[in-house]
Amino acid sequence: MERMWSQEAKMKYQNQWVILVNIIDEPKTHKAIGDVYLVTPIKMDAYAKAMELGDSMGETMVVEGFNDSPQIGGLEICAQ
């Protein structure tokens, strides 16, 4: 497992759902750091696995990877 900040995971795994385990909150910066447990493109799989882990892996967090695709009216623009 790779340990990283939640914001770093969002940027690294674009358009993916990331489960972080063993979360530690930094009180001064209000940022969370944890171990990347699973990366999946399916939102429901990520939340189901996080619930399944429960307390066995410490505190868990699911974050959505950042999508920087330009959008117009909710539609993504695909450059080819």
Summarised one tens digit per residue, pLDDT across range 45-72 is 999 999 998 778 788 899 998 877 666 6
For the chain, the residue count is: 80
pLDDT exceeds 80 at position 76: no
Summarised one tens digit per residue, pLDDT across range 4-52 is 988 999 889 988 999 999 989 888 888 899 999 999 999 999 999 999 9
Report domain extents, the chain.
Answer: 2-76
The Cα-based distances of 15 to 9, 45, 64, 78 in angstroms read: 11, 14, 7, 14
Q: What are the structure tokens assigned to 78, written together?
A: 């695909």
